[in-house]
């Protein structure tokens, strides 16, 4: 089926009280794993490419691969630009057929973030492309930090309401204490749910997006350790906290790190077990299958929120 605009998947998710997974890919194996898992589960997904993924794989190749995957699967897929910062890249993604783009101007002062985000909405809207933007900084916040320090980095709920009114975006990624990568928390993992609840109120039910949402599961870490991947101290967002975030208004959950960990464990263990193999299909294939299983489990978790 054709690629669908992000806002359609998110509106449906809000109505159903679940979240759509957004999974990043840089290569064929991850794309096959994600689309395969979505098909197995019969659920839609966002296929997310960062600017780095686009420069690694090439925009034309990304779009051609995703179009071919979409034509062969019955589930709705959205091709999404993740953390777009460069207006030329955003413009090219829109021209090439992306159905959702994120403008990440969260490192700019509020007014400049508003202006840059509005400019992207004006580019995207006539083409039916959905727009996500970000407010606040994605950093893990420890329990011990002061209220002032917390306020300085996390989203301001009042500003969030104003930002949505001024920009006309389709979804908002508010910083509520998650961060990217495998090392999210030094102490106990804890998202700022009070802040998230206020953001949801002030933004009038707009679909919210949780970045940095990998949960870094113990069993994946165990497979990493067994295969010789060194990630001591890795810690993600506990899955019950993902579900709580969805109950409060999150409709898109971004996951990249968990796929990377599962994939590297799969490649390393295949190479360790069979030191004489050098056909890439023999070590990429098992890793791809492991990522497919992980993504399938995650999609089911996100879609069954009670």
Q: Which residues are catalytic?
A: 82
Residues 19 and 250 sit within 8 Å (Cβ to Cβ): yes
Span from 51-59, 115-123, 190-198, 255-263 in contact with ligand 13P (CB under 6 A): 255-263
User: Is 153 within 8 Å of 136 (Cβ atoms)?
Assistant: yes
180 binding ligand G3H? (CB under 6 A) = yes
Q: Among 87, 89, 95, 139, which Cα is nearest to 112's? A: 87
213 binds, among ligand G3H, Zn ion, ligand 13P, none (CB under 5 to 8 A by kind): ligand 13P
Does position 150 bind ligand 13P by CB under 6 A? no
For ligand G3H, the binding residue among 16, 17, 42, 52 (CB under 6 A) is 52
Q: How many residues bind ligand 13P (CB under 6 A)?
A: 13
Size of the site for ligand G3H (CB under 6 A): 8
The interface with Zn ion within residues 217-256 (CB under 5 A) comprises 254
Does 24 interact with ligand G3H (rule: CB under 6 A)? yes
Q: Does 41 bind ligand 13P (CB under 6 A)?
A: no
CB of 54 to ligand G3H, least distance (A): 9
Single residue of 7, 80, 83, 195 touching ligand G3H by CB under 6 A: 83
Encoded one letter per residue, x for contact with ligand 13P by CB under 6 A and - for no contact, window 192-211 reads -------------------x
Using CB under 6 A as the binding rule, whether residue 132 contacts ligand G3H is answered as no
Residue 176 touching ligand 13P (CB under 6 A): no
Q: Are 175 and 136 in contact (CB under 8 A)?
A: yes
Determine the interface stretch with ligand G3H among 31-39, 47-55, 112-120, 264-272 (rule: CB under 6 A). Answer: 47-55
* Per CB under 5 A, 211 contacts Zn ion: yes
Residue from 29, 170, 192, 256 binding ligand G3H (CB under 6 A): 256
**Among 257, 266, 269, 292, which residue interacts with ligand 13P (rule: CB under 6 A)?**
257
Decide: is 168 part of the binding site for ligand G3H (CB under 6 A).
no
Does residue 53 bind ligand G3H (CB under 6 A)? yes
Q: What is the DSSP string of the chain?
A: -----HHHHHHHHHHHT--EEEEE-SSHHHHHHHHHHHHHHT--EEEEEEHHHHHHH-HHHHHHHHHHHHHT-SS-EEEEEEEE--HHHHHHHHHHT-SEEEE--TTS-HHHHHHHHHHHHHHHGGGT-EEEEEES------TTS-HHHHHHHS--HHHHHHHHHHH--SEEEE-SS--SSSB--SSS----HHHHHHHHHHTTT--EEE-S-----HHHHHHHHHHT---TT-B---HHHHHHHHHTTEEEEEE-HHHHHHHHHHHHHHHHH-TT---HHHHHHHHHHHHHHHHHHHHHHHH---
Catalog residues that contact Zn ion under the rule CB under 5 A.
211, 254
Catalog residues that contact ligand G3H under the rule CB under 6 A.
24, 50, 52-53, 82-83, 180, 256
């Amino acid at each position: 089926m054709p690629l669908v605009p992000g806002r359609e998947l998110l509106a449906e998710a809000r109505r159903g009280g679940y979240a759509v997974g957004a999974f990043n890919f840089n290569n064929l194996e991850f794309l096959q794993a994600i689309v395969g898992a979505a098909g197995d589960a019969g659920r839609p997904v966002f296929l997310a490419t960062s600017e780095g993924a686009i420069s690694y794989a090439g925009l034309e190749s990304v779009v051609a691969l995703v179009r071919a995957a979409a034509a062969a699967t019955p589930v709705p897929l959205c091709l999404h630009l993740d953390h777009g910062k460069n207006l030329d890249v955003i413009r090219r993604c829109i021209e090439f057929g992306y159905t959702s783009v994120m403008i990440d101007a969260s490192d700019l002062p509020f007014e400049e973030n508003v202006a840059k985000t509005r400019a992207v909405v004006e580019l995207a809207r006539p083409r039916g492309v959905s727009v996500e933007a970000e407010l606040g900084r994605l950093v893990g916040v420890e329990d011990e930090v002061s209220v002032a320090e917390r306020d300085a980095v996390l989203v301001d709920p009042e500003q969030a309401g104003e930002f949505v009114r001024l920009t006309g975006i389709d979804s908002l990624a508010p910083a509520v204490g998650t961060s990217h990568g495998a090392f999210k928390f030094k102490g106990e993992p804890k998202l700022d749910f009070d802040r998230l609840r206020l953001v949801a109120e002030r933004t009038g039910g707009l679909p919210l997006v949780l970045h940095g949402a990998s949960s870094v599961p113990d069993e994946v870490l165990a497979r990493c350790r067994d295969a010789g991947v060194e990630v001591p101290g890795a810690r993600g967002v506990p899955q019950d906290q993902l579900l709580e975030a969805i109950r409060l208004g999150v409709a898109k959950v971004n996951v990249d790190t968990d796929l990377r960990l599962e994939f590297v464990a799969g490649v390393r263990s295949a190479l360790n077990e069979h030191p004489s193999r050098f056909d890439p299909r023999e070590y990429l294939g098992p890793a791809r299958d492991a990522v497919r299983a992980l993504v399938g489990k995650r999609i089911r978790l996100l879609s069954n929120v009670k």
